[in-house]
Amino acid sequence: MALGLQCQRTVTVLHFLCCLWAIFALAHNVGLPQSARREREYTYGGSWKHLTFLNQVLQTILFSLCVIIDSVGLCLIPSHERKVSSLLVPVRDFIFASLVFPVGLFVAVAFWGLYAYDRELVYPRELDDVNPTWLNHSMHTTILPLLFIELVISPHKYVRKRMGVLGLTIFTVSYLCWIIWVHYASGIWAYPVLEVLDISGKIVFFSIAYCIVLMFYFLGWLLTKKLWGRRRKQT
């Protein structure tokens, strides 16, 4: 019992630290000063047209939920804890499984993959004079350890694959429609790579991106099953 309580406290501390970092990084992203070099981010859609920013918002929501659930588990009597957990845990699990894990993994892999091929397609050199290096890594690098920390310290119950894939697909299609609308309304593409692709190229690019995100969803499901299935057998 004492060991279980100690583990719960450790998980709570880790969630709290992850939440603090997510809020800190998101706040600094929002609070960057306006400049001519960041003009596109302050036009139609602002930062909300970038998947990187949306992923930061999702991670902040996830870890805020984790902190609330952990705090309730430590502070409330069992009957109240079960009531709160029954409401919030399914929401937390769905956000992690269907959104945060696949989208966060995609953001990191896609960004650094394009960056290695030709950084001008995703992060032009002129942004180095505006965005601090640490902030760039907070948006595209440190999101990975946060994902795997959460994967390891908390069991997540995946909904039926059909529902999980549907949730991810709705998010993906909604985001695609959003950036197409931004381009239609303002003439701005959210990413430089889209400016150099013709219509057929964009279709191929979006199709490959969706397949990769879908693959990352099933990767999260497989890792969760192997990790937590083995732990349940051991206990």
Is residue 67 a part of any domain in this protein?
yes
Q: How far is CA 25 from CA 31, 101, 134, 148, in A?
A: 10, 18, 9, 18
Q: How far is CA 142 from CA 77, 90, 107, in A?
A: 35, 25, 11
Is residue 6 a part of any domain in this protein?
yes
Is residue 38 a part of any domain in this protein?
no
pTM above 0.75, yes or no: yes
* 216 or 126, higher pLDDT: 216
pLDDT band of 72, cuts 50, 70, 90: confident
| Residue 72 · residue 217 · CB < 8 Å | no
pLDDT band of 143, cuts 50, 70, 90: very high
Place of tokens 């942004």: 127
pLDDT the model gives residue 233: 52
Q: How many domains would you assign to the chain?
A: 1
Q: Nearest Cα to 178, choosing from 40, 29, 51, 26?
A: 51
Is residue 37 a part of any domain in this protein?
no
DSSP per-residue codes, the chain: -HHHHHHHHHHHHHHHHHHHHHHHHHHHHHTPPP-GGGGGGGSTTGGGG-HHHHHHHHHHHHHHHHHHHHHHHHHS-HHHHHHHHHHHHHHHHHIIIIIIHHHHHHHHHHHHHHHHHHGGGTS-GGGGGTS-HHHHHHHHTTHHHHHHHHHHHS------HHHHHHHHHHHHHHHHHHHHHHHHHHS--SSHHHHS--HHHHHHHHHHHHHHHHHHHHHHHHHHHHHHHHHHHH-
Is residue 36 a part of any domain in this protein?
no
Is residue 148 a part of any domain in this protein?
yes
* Residue 46 scores a pLDDT above 90: no
Is residue 51 a part of any domain in this protein?
yes
Which long-range contacts (C-beta less than 8 Å, at least 24 apart) are formed by 204-209? 206/176, 209/106, 209/110
* Residue 231 scores a pLDDT above 70: no
Is residue 201 a part of any domain in this protein?
yes
Mean pLDDT of the chain: 87
Q: Count the neighbouring beta carbons within 10 Å of the beta carbon of residue 66.
A: 25
The domain in which residue 132 lies consists of 2-28+43-234
